[in-house]
Amino acid sequence: MIKAFEDLVSNRHDNAIKWKNMGKSVFGYFCTYVPEEIIHAAGIIPVRMMGGSDDITLADVHLPSYVCSFARSCYDQGLKGVYSYLDGVIFPCTCDTIIALYSIWKADIKTPYVGFVDPLCAKTETAKKYFREEVARFKESLESFLGGEISDTSLQKSIEIYNANRRLLKEVYELRRSSHPPISGVEALDIVKSSMLTPKEEHSRLLENLLNKISERDDPPESGVRILVSGSVIYDPEILRMIENSGGLIVTDDLCTGTRYFWDLVNTNLPPLTGIADRYYERIPCPCNYSPERRLEHILSLIRDYNVEAVVFTLQKFCDPHLFDYPFIGESLKEAEISTLLLETEHVSSPLGPLKTRIEAFLETIQ
- Cα 166 from Cα 28, distance rounded (Å): 20
If you write DSSP's letter for every residue of 238-297 in order, what string do you get? Answer: HHHHHHHHTTEEEEEEE-TTTHHHHSS---TTS-HHHHHHHHHHHSSPPTTTS-THHHHH
Residue 302 neighbours by CB under 8 Å, 6+ apart: 228, 252, 253, 254, 259, 308
Query: pTM of this prediction?
Result: 0.95
Q: What is the Cβ-side half-sphere exposure of residue 244, based on CA atoms within 13 angstroms?
A: 23
What is the total residue count of the chain? 367
Q: What is the CATH number of domain 154-364?
A: 3.40.50.11900
- Cα 101 from Cα 75, distance rounded (Å): 8
Q: What is the CATH number of domain 3-150?
A: 3.40.50.11890
Q: What are the sequence ranges of the domains in the chain?
A: 3-150, 154-364
- The model's confidence at residue 286, banded by pLDDT at 50, 70 and 90, is confident
pLDDT, tens digit, 9 for 90 and up, residues 212-266: 999 889 889 999 999 999 998 888 888 999 999 999 999 999 999 999 999 999 9
Integer CA distances (angstroms), 107 to 10, 110, 207, in order: 29, 6, 39
- Cα 8 from Cα 12, distance rounded (Å): 6
Instruction: State the burial class of residue 110 (Cβ atoms within 10 Å of its Cβ: 0-12, 13-18, 19+).
Output: exposed
pLDDT of 7 reads 96
Please check whether the two domains, 3-150 and 154-364, share a CATH topology: yes
Q: Give strand pairing partners of 256.
A: none
pLDDT of 316 reads 85
CB contact at 8 A, 192 and 171? no
**Beta strands in the chain, from DSSP E residues, in sequence order:** 25-29, 44-48, 88-92, 113-117, 225-231, 248-254, 310-316, 339-345
Question: Which 3 state secondary structure label does DSSP give 178?
Answer: coil
Average pLDDT over residues 55-78: 89
Least confidently predicted of 50-64, 83-97, 252-266: 50-64
109: left (phi over 0), alpha (psi -120 to 50) or beta: alpha
Average pLDDT over residues 282-308: 90
pLDDT of 93 reads 85
pLDDT, tens digit, 9 for 90 and up, residues 99-121: 889 999 999 998 999 999 988 76
* Average pLDDT over all residues of the chain: 93
Q: What angle do CA 7, 9, 15 make, to 5 degrees?
A: 80
